[in-house]
Amino acid sequence: MLKCAGSIQARPSVTTTFRRSLRLHKTSSHSRVVMGASSSSSSDHPGESLELVYFDIAGVAEKVRLAFSLGHVPFTNTKVAFDEWASIKPTTPFGQLPILKIGSDTTIAQSDAMLRYAGTLAQNKGIDLYPQDNLLQIEEALGMTNDIGRDLRPCIYLAMNPTKAGGYPESFKGTPEQAELVKNVRTAFMTDDFVKYMSKIEAKLESNGNKFIAGTDTPTIADCALVPQLKHFTKGVLDHVPTTCLDEYKNIKAYIDKFMNLPEVAAWYANNKK
């Protein structure tokens, strides 16, 4: 069984401080207990409450939310407003969100660890989100998804913070030169890396008979990670990334539709529109 509490319990002061800080901000943050499609007792995780804390965006926490939903694992979905982040940040273990709080004294702060933990909780209930028989295929797909995110990152952060992302002076932000740089970087990504990754995914889905990405008949945590990443490209939130960019990849589009139409996933988005 995956254990995630061991090394974190050495930091009770951080966890306690974080909880105190978060309580101070509850008036503008939003918390919501989310139940799975079937009722679930506290022994499912085991005997501990779960609270996922992140901004009110999909981001890197969406895969965890989806895994909890598909695994019928109850959790509290706490949304932190951006203007609260500066005061909360110093109280988090690594100065970042998401945070997963387990019970009263454990906090973990890496979304991939949270995702695998969610998958393990589901497995303990007999729901094959992280099946050992497909472990290598799942981990391969997770690695590929992380590679896509890694190669996309400069396209995002050169627009948000060119000083931190590229070493440009503060005066560079908001200039026509920055706009041109972002355009060139994103155009290059869409021409090269995007086509490379989408072609590989399209072929993989074709070869596995259009099952889920790890070759399974039911979804796994790999799908919880990959589908939000794919959907991000079509949201229209990135200039120079057309919302039609996946239209030519029929297997990918069918794969996304199949995942999004899963009852638990459809229910999640019906109740948590973004």
Q: Do 92 and 214 have their domain in common?
A: no
> Model's pTM, two decimal places?
0.84
Stretch among 27-36, 124-133, 177-186 having the lowest mean pLDDT: 27-36
Inform me whether the pLDDT recorded for 29 exceeds 50.
Answer: no
- Which helix (H) or strand (E) segment is 111 a member of? helix 111-124
> Quick one: pLDDT at residue 148?
98
In the block, residue with structure tokens 């695998």: 116
CATH number of the domain bearing residue 12: 3.40.30.10
Question: Distance between CA atoms of 7 and 108, rounded to whole angstroms?
Answer: 9
Q: Do 93 and 179 have their domain in common?
A: no
Distance of CA 82 to the CA centre of its chain: 18
Inform me whether the pLDDT recorded for 23 exceeds 50.
Answer: no
Give the tens place of pLDDT for each residue, 68-105.
999 999 999 999 999 999 999 999 999 999 999 999 88
- State what percent of residues in the chain have pLDDT above 70: 82
Q: Do 20 and 117 have their domain in common?
A: yes
Structural domains counted in the chain: 2
> Quick one: pLDDT at residue 32?
59
Q: Do 28 and 57 have their domain in common?
A: yes
pLDDT band of residue 249 (cuts 50, 70, 90) is very high
> Quick one: pLDDT at residue 219?
98
How many residues does the structure list for the chain?
Answer: 274
Q: Do 151 and 30 have their domain in common?
A: no
Q: Do 57 and 173 have their domain in common?
A: no
Inform me whether the pLDDT recorded for 45 exceeds 60.
Answer: no
Q: Do 111 and 148 have their domain in common?
A: no
Inform me whether the pLDDT recorded for 15 exceeds 70.
Answer: no
Question: Distance between CA atoms of 162 and 154, rounded to whole angstroms?
Answer: 9
Give the tens place of pLDDT for each residue, 114-168.
999 999 999 999 999 999 999 999 999 999 999 999 999 999 999 999 999 999 9
Does 1 map to a domain?
no
CATH number of the domain bearing residue 181: 1.20.1050.10
CB neighbour class for 160 (10 Å; exposed up to 12, middle 13-18, buried from 19): exposed
> Quick one: pLDDT at residue 159?
95
Inform me whether the pLDDT recorded for 205 exceeds 80.
Answer: yes
β-bridge pairing 50-55 and 99-102: antiparallel
> In terms of residue numbers, what domain contains 61?
7-124
Mean pLDDT over 207-219 rounds to 97
